[in-house]
Each structure stands twice: as structure tokens, then as C-alpha cells.
């Protein structure tokens, strides 16, 4: 009988140690994920915000500024481009642009340069707060 009780107390102490480890592990995991969740709120990019991001001078001014500032010499492929060039970009909370991607690809460098020139953006808004937003712009080329 004494052997049973000493084995039982050993198992109880062992289970307590295991339960303590599981509890500590759970606390660490939950703390880590809650901090990740707080960080991920800032990395959300809205594709359909309540209020879309707009160029400070309007869409017509954006197209005019692109037309006036594009450098065809830096990217000879633009000279031969006929048709539509789709540009996707992110307008950040502070009104600057990032993550410029073009389709067809190969024109990111020039489009990034252009969008870096155009600093005046009103950021998108969601629930009254400025948010990051994904934007798409279609440009049509017919240079021949």
C-alpha cells in the first residue's frame, strides 16, 4: 500500500510539473500570437476600403504627371509598348506609395520612379482611420 501511495504522489508531482510546463507554454504562445496580431493590423492592405486613396490633385492630374514625367529612354520597352499597362501599387497611411508592380512586367523601375515623384496622396480610410490600400491604374500606350 505504501508503494502505491508513493507511486501516486510521484505521478501527481510529475503531472503537476507537466501541467505547469503546459500552462507556461500556453501563456508564451498566447502572448506571442497576441503581439503578432497587434503587428498584423498595421500590415493589412485594403483592396476595397470605405474611402479610396486619391492623388492630391485628382486622377486627371495623375495621368498628366505620368505623361509629362515618364522617361522612355530609361526603359526602351515602353517605346514599343502598344496597348494597356496595368500598374498596381500600395498607398501607405502617410500618403506615399510602395510595392509598384506592372503587367506586363518589366516596367516596375520606371513606374516606381514616377510614383516616388508623386508624393501627394490622400490615404484610404476605413472606419475613419487612414489605412494602407491596394490601387490599380491602367495606362494605354499607342506610340506608333
pLDDT digits (tens, 9 = 90+) for 43-76: 899 999 999 999 998 999 999 998 898 887 777 6
CB 63 within 8 A of CB 115: no
Give the domain extent around 133: 47-142
Please indicate, yes or no, whether residues 33 and 77 belong to a single structural domain of this protein: no
Residues 71 and 127 reside in one and the same domain: yes
pLDDT attached to residue 4: 47
Ranges of H-type helices in 1-144: 2-43, 59-69, 77-80, 108-117
DSSP-assigned letters across all residues of 21-47: HHHHHHHHHHHHHHHHHHHHHHH-EES
Query: What nine digits make up the cell of 143?
Result: 506610340
Q: Are residues 54 and 114 in the same domain?
A: yes
Grid coordinates in use for 96?
Answer: 506615399
What's the confidence (pLDDT) of residue 39? 45
Judge if 63 and 129 occupy the same domain: yes
**What residue ranges of the chain have pLDDT lower than 70?**
1-41, 76-80, 143-144
- Whether 61 and 55 have beta carbons less than 8 Å apart is answered as yes
- Please indicate, yes or no, whether residues 129 and 86 belong to a single structural domain of this protein: yes
The answer to whether residues 103 and 54 belong to one domain is yes
Overall number of domains in the chain = 2
d(CA 109, CA 102): 9
> Distance between CA 144 and CA 142 in Å, rounded?
6
Amino acid at each position: 500500500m505504501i508503494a502505491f501511495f508513493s507511486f501516486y504522489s510521484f505521478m501527481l508531482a510529475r503531472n503537476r510539473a507537466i501541467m505547469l510546463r503546459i500552462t507556461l507554454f500556453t501563456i508564451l504562445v498566447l502572448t506571442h500570437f497576441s503581439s503578432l496580431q497587434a503587428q498584423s493590423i498595421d500590415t493589412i492592405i485594403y483592396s476595397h476600403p470605405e474611402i479610396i486613396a486619391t492623388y492630391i490633385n485628382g486622377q486627371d492630374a495623375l495621368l498628366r504627371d505620368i505623361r509629362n514625367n515618364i522617361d522612355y529612354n530609361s526603359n526602351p520597352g515602353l517605346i514599343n509598348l502598344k496597348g494597356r499597362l496595368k500598374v498596381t501599387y500600395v498607398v501607405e497611411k502617410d500618403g506615399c506609395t510602395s510595392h509598384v508592380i506592372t503587367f506586363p512586367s518589366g516596367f516596375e523601375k520606371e513606374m516606381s520612379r514616377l510614383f516616388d515623384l508623386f508624393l501627394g496622396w490622400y490615404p484610404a480610410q476605413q472606419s475613419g482611420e487612414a489605412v494602407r490600400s491596394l490601387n490599380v491604374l491602367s495606362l494605354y500606350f499607342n506610340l506608333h
